[in-house]
Structure 1
């Protein structure tokens, strides 16, 4: 495959890119626009590594309103609604919804997904349905599965056994939810247990951590300490961490030192957490997003994710990660030009670090020929225009091709 007239991120020149046998074999600078015979003429648009969705719940996609709507809009009513819907799960139900959601994500340039799957189900129905899909989806995307204890590990009957069973079935990542455990002691113990379990089975860790509007919810310090002391460091991810927006700055100053030392990753879900959080506030209402800008400025890895696609927690998910970037830039006061220039990091390179796939990710000779072409010339234009993904290619094979939207008639105005 030959691609011409492509722009790369943070580069001023145009590039010709050659792919052979599913890998990049040449990335060379063009001196000018060319009209060579090619498979893809990028027409001076941005070519970059595929988008990464590092935090989504595929087991719950497309279930909003089933069996009832989350009328309060709270995280906890969402959990109650899902507990009722969970009883209706079947293999065909789960797989049908997951494949529909996967098509949506692929059409929006996503080729790498980390999904959390609820394992507080004695039958592990969703996990058993989704695990076999990893191989089926491999030509289109990479799928990592998190064993996610939605209703707790220590607080759910046989929670530990279910987590271990989930790893045997095919989970790649050990999850947790310490703020939902019955007691702080349970939450603390669960964090250390999760890290120990991951070490035992050579797995990654991704915890729903402090997803609550409670400035006293401080399990992040426990998770970071466990990651540091165990040496797991960047193999550990703290998702959501929305309580951080309620921490006082003196505590955060101390906490950030630990976070930096620990080397852990963060994932924020801007639209969903803004929707779910602050529900118990009068005014002023909490924004509900962790300190994305401050973490990034401290040199700590932060990725953005959508979290949900039309489920009890968030009914407007649409598979478009550019929406998450746009929302985070506004809500987290990242509206400077320097912020815009690197905005795509949040849904590309930073997500690769979360998923621990950086060695095989990116536009470099020798790496898999996975890329997308966006209808824009750089990060700034792509974010501002919320640009379409016009090509998505995986291992040198075209997954999607889209014609950019074009206005065929518009009045010409003059002063």
Structure 2
């Protein structure tokens, strides 16, 4: 068999055509990113990454075998490089993104971000503006190797129809590359009146998820909604009538206590396993015994938790002239130890809620490891950007397994500490067996957006 030898800095993208039978010999992949587990006889390194052969037949992974056991006419020896599946971002905001420099300055605070976003939405969020910014975001995600995205969409009365229509256009255009889902995002008190039913009908027609944020309109997390149980009942009844999953922004503050109410409502309505909660920041600051009780309730409700470490570190505990004293992220390790499904996601990108980011889930995961101490050992931390968010979204992505699309990224890294140490701008992204030629879009392309 002819063998293509790779120099330490060279991978030949021309070999990946999506047509041939190809053996990727001596790949190194975290065990938690292998859909069928580590193949029998494969060695694992101290980081929990298996040494494997990946057989690609056209657009599909045909087999995952112990290193040295695969066969094909064309062999690419990866020399123990890390090979990952394309990753999954299960919580972002495609409608808000890339308005830095146009929206009013937020001051980096949550109330400031809310007000700045409202001003920008009223002034600019029309079809062409939304399409342009969503397209920019997805071009970034494509170049970075993202396989699926769930986006929360601001769905205020008078805006929802425009935003959901733009998202629908975008989802159809990108269907062959990135699986897209959407969640309705409104303050929870929007479900008090008739608009809640109208919104639920719109979401059902679009195949989305029903959602919201556990605060009042114009308010902040931490200020209790006196009728939160009634509002949650209204939301869950609308979801059940339409068979919709639920995804909520919860307790995005140092002091807030909506999560137990959400868990109780989930159980009360029999919606276990169909609810996702993002943020849950305040859970990190309550006494340990109280946190344990809440986590047990969350586990009983089958709620999935998504932590957004980069954005929560940016927003939480910010005050003029004061260095932040806490990280702003939910207690990931304690939740996972209790059997709660926890994913990491990117959240906002270059908007008033987070001034940075590039829709790069590998970078988000790398930062999450450092922020939440998901190392020493790494164990199955990689799953939080692959298999876990894919399961939350219900999409076939985030793992390497026989029968799955050959959606891969090859990194110039031979250990997980090397994966974390560098940004990997030289990664080779492979979609359906074909080397991607996608490049990051120029920021200059944003200058045509209204208001620049």
* Range class of TM-score, shorter chain: 0.7 to 0.9
Structure 1 Cα separation of the partners of residues 323 and 403 of structure 2 = 54
Counterpart position of 2:245? 204
Q: What's the CA shift string for 1:69-109, capped at 9, x where partnerless?
A: 112x1111111111111122111111111011101111111
2:142 is equivalent to residue 106 of structure 1: yes
Structure 1: which 5+ residue stretches go unaligned?
403-415
Alignment check: 8 A CA contact 2:171 2:180 kept: yes
Q: What CA distance in whole angstroms lies between the structure 2 residues aligned with 1:149 and 1:101?
A: 22
TM-score scaled by length of structure 2? 0.79
Deviation for aligned residue 1:171? 4.6
1:9-408 matched pairs, under 5 angstroms? 9-10=30-31, 11=44, 12-20=50-58, 22-31=59-68, 37-38=74-75, 42-71=78-107, 73-87=108-122, 88-124=124-160, 125-150=162-187, 152-154=189-191, 159-180=195-216, 184-214=225-255, 217-279=256-318, 285-334=325-374, 336-338=375-377, 340-357=378-395, 362-388=399-425, 390-400=427-437
Q: What do you get for the CA RMSD once the two structures are aligned? A: 2.7
Higher RCO (C-alpha under 8 Å, 6+ residues apart): 2
Q: What is the alpha-carbon distance in structure 2 between the residues aligned to residue 65 and residue 249 of structure 1?
A: 42
Distance in 2, matches of 1:103 and 1:85, equals 22
Q: Within 1, Cα distance between the matches of 2:238 and 2:412?
A: 44
For the residues of structure 1 that align with 2:289 and 2:334, how far apart are their CA atoms?
A: 14
- Aligned mates of 1:290, 1:396 — CA distance in 2: 37
- In 2: Cα distance, 1:392 partner to 1:212 partner: 37
- Structure 2: which 5+ runs fail to align? 1-19, 32-43, 45-49, 440-452
CA distance in 2, matches of 1:178, 1:151: 5
SS at match of 2:294: helix
Question: Counterparts of 1:377 and 1:166 in 2: how far apart (Å)?
Answer: 48
- 82 and 262 in structure 1: CA distance in 2 versus 1, 3 angstrom threshold: same
Q: What TM-score do the two structures reach when normalised by structure 1?
A: 0.86
SS at match of 2:210: strand
Q: Kindly provide the CA deviation profile for residues 209-268 of structure 1, in whole angstroms up to 9, marking residues without a partner as x.
A: 111221xx2211121122233333222111001111222212112112111211111111
Report Cα offsets for 1:329-364 as digits up to 9, x if no partner. Answer: 333343x421x2433222111211221236x65222
Contact 1:260 1:298 in 2 (8 A): yes
Greater mean alpha carbon deviation, residues 55-64 or residues 324-333:
324-333
**Structure 2: distance between partners of 1:356 and 1:97:** 26
Rounded Cα–Cα distance in structure 2 between residues aligned with 1:47 and 1:213: 38
**Residue 34 of structure 1: how far off its partner (Å):** 9.0
